Chains A and B, each alone.
Chain A
Amino acid sequence: MNIRKNLLISTLVATVLGTSSMQGLAFDFKGVLKDAVEKELGEKPVTTPDEASQTPADTNATDSTSATKTSEPEFNWKNPSKEEEISLGREIAGNLLGAAPLVNDVALQKYVNSVGRWVASQSERPDLPWRFGVIESDDLNAFAAPGGYIMLTKGLYRKLSNEAQLAGVLGHEIGHVVKKHQLKVLQKQQLLNIGAGFLSGKYAKDNKLVSKAIGTGAEISARSLDKSAEYEADRLGLSYATRAGYEPYGLTEVLQTIGQTNKNDSSVALLFKTHPHPDDRLVALGDAIGNKLDNIKNGKTLENRFYQLKN
């Protein structure tokens, strides 16, 4: 393990030094380091080889093992295993749940997990132990953390009117997890930190720990991803829900509803800050769809079994 990590650092440092040897004092170490990290993350797939061999039958056995705070294991930021990804997601999900607990309604949570599990089975990562939760907040928002932890607010659930819409929203978040959007942001940042710490002589083992990476509380959940990541998640979410047999336009209906909410309403403040405007998302989705849905018929909305909130 350690050899592998040292190798990474050496590679990065070698890249930096190699490139910089001919340059003056004002050389931008961080910039080159950043390039080197991006190259590392970009050229090699971050998926682990053992993941491909997983079958859906393994799903029940892949529950995360919780990392205790006191003896937090080191984290392979360059190429995290599925287990490491899940433990990272668990940390983030736990912090988010510290800000807003689960809605105390077992039937609701079971229903959302049923829809989510079926949609996730249409994704490229059906083997993850997917879990879904509705959290106590009147904001309109939804969150995904690495490894398959997905949450949406009660405020957003309240705006939905059928199962196809729920499937579209969950599909969007599933798309983030499948494409490892948040994980990649954290990886990049951590590899930079580790590298920069090494260069400045303050290289600390601490930087490899999960708790150091995700910062204070659940602030990571308030951060934006690239706009392109959001558009990609929209396309994937709609695709997964469509494959699952739902009426394809569920997600776009929710975007229409969100777009009608006054942008000064505090319930959408964070959502609007961290996502492209719903109008832009609708246009991008419309362009991506083109005529591809013209022959998709008989998708279901299932409003009859859509779970109604008790309050």
Chain B
Amino acid sequence: MTSKFKALLFIAPLLYWQTVIAAETGTALKNDTLRKEPYADAKTGGSLTRGEPVDILKKQGAWLQIKTKKTTGWVRLLSVKRGTSTSGNQTAGVLAAASGRAGTGQVVSTTGIRGLNEEELKAAKFNETEVKTLEGYTLSADEGRQFANAGKLKPIVFANLKAAKGDAK
């Protein structure tokens, strides 16, 4: 690895975040209607086709302002997959660098990375000491509530989501 390349790795995270702000791209996850404003009852203006590439301009609450080839409008957050699939590998690498993961190249990853594949799971032996340690961390409901209070988390009433109609998955 040349020192020039190493230097590049250091500035890569900065570049990444800049591009996010400048123009994040995405892909439509489903067919949807574009709206003029970020509200469910706002006027419609154009449509989105599944798989269509978009530019993400702005996020407001649970809405994204996007630009398609034809027009600009608002859609719900979950109608768009953020990032492009083709640059997935690169993005993963840059994200890893940004999050402080030691080393970013493929070569480094074979040494430091500890996987958890099927073979390793199959070969595993029961570890009593570790289970005891895990059980030692068990908290009471009261302790959980205190932690929530410290973060000013307020429980709200919200019914469990049900599967969408016709969604037998």
Determine if A225 is an interface residue (Cβ-Cβ < 8 Å): no
CA distance A228 to B30 in the complex (A): 20
B contact face: mostly helix, strand, loop, or mixed: loop
Interface string of A262-303 (1 = CB under 8 A from B): 111111011000001001101111111111111010101010
CA distance A79 to B151 in the complex (A): 40
Determine if B60 is an interface residue (Cβ-Cβ < 8 Å): no
Chain A interface size range: 35 or more
A97 contacts B115, CB within 8 Å? no
Q: What residues on A are CB-neighbors of B83 within 8 Å?
A: 256, 259-260
Q: How far is the CB of A138 from chain B (nearest CB, A)?
A: 4
Q: What residues on A are CB-neighbors of B116 within 8 Å?
A: 99-100, 135, 137, 139, 141, 153, 270
B156 contacts A242, CB within 8 Å? yes
Q: What residues on B are CB-neighbors of A97 within 8 Å?
A: 127, 130-131, 134
CA distance A282 to B123 in the complex (A): 34
A270 contacts B117, CB within 8 Å? yes
A63 contacts B29, CB within 8 Å? no
B130 contacts A98, CB within 8 Å? yes
Determine if B126 is an interface residue (Cβ-Cβ < 8 Å): yes
Determine if B169 is an interface residue (Cβ-Cβ < 8 Å): yes
Partner of A113, one of B30, B126, B137: B137
Closest to A300 in B: B153
B151 contacts A282, CB within 8 Å? no
CA distance A91 to B124 in the complex (A): 12
B126 contacts A91, CB within 8 Å? yes
Q: What residues on B are CB-neighbors of A284 within 8 Å?
A: 163-164, 167, 169
Closest to A167 in B: B153
Q: How far is the CB of B106 from chain A (nearest CB, A)?
A: 10
Closest to B87 in A: A260
Chain B: residues with Cβ within 8 Å of the partner, total of 69
B141 contacts A121, CB within 8 Å? yes
B122 contacts A219, CB within 8 Å? yes
Closest to B159 in A: A239
Partner of B138, one of A113, A221, A262, A270: A113
Interface string of A120-161 (1 = CB under 8 A from B): 111000100111110111110100000001010100001100
Partner of B118, one of A117, A133, A270: A270
A221 contacts B121, CB within 8 Å? yes
Determine if B158 is an interface residue (Cβ-Cβ < 8 Å): yes
B169 contacts A227, CB within 8 Å? yes
A95 contacts B138, CB within 8 Å? no
Q: What residues on B are CB-neighbors of A110 within 8 Å?
A: 137
Q: Which of B7-15, B65-73, B88-96 contacts its partner?
A: B88-96
A99 contacts B124, CB within 8 Å? yes
CA distance A291 to B161 in the complex (A): 11
Determine if A217 is an interface residue (Cβ-Cβ < 8 Å): yes
Q: How far is the CB of B48 from chain A (nearest CB, A)?
A: 13
Determine if B76 is an interface residue (Cβ-Cβ < 8 Å): yes
Q: What residues on B are CB-neighbors of A286 within 8 Å?
A: 29-30, 76-79
Q: Which of A32-40, A183-191, A229-237 contacts its partner?
A: A229-237
CA distance A132 to B147 in the complex (A): 15
Determine if A90 is an interface residue (Cβ-Cβ < 8 Å): yes
B125 contacts A98, CB within 8 Å? yes
CA distance A267 to B123 in the complex (A): 19
CA distance A132 to B118 in the complex (A): 22
Q: Which of A5-13, A70-78, A197-205, A243-251 contacts its partner?
A: A243-251
A96 contacts B124, CB within 8 Å? yes
B158 contacts A239, CB within 8 Å? yes
Determine if A118 is an interface residue (Cβ-Cβ < 8 Å): yes
Q: How far is the CB of A283 from chain B (nearest CB, A)?
A: 5
B145 contacts A231, CB within 8 Å? no
CA distance A70 to B133 in the complex (A): 22
Q: What residues on B are CB-neighbors of A98 within 8 Å?
A: 124-127, 130
Interface string of A187-227 (1 = CB under 8 A from B): 00000000000000000000000000000111101100001
Determine if A19 is an interface residue (Cβ-Cβ < 8 Å): no
Partner of B89, one of A99, A102, A159, A262: A262
Interface string of B128-145 (1 = CB under 8 A from A): 101101110111111111
| Cross-chain pairs A/B with CB under 8 angstroms, 5 sampled | A118-B147, A139-B116, A261-B92, A266-B113, A309-B100
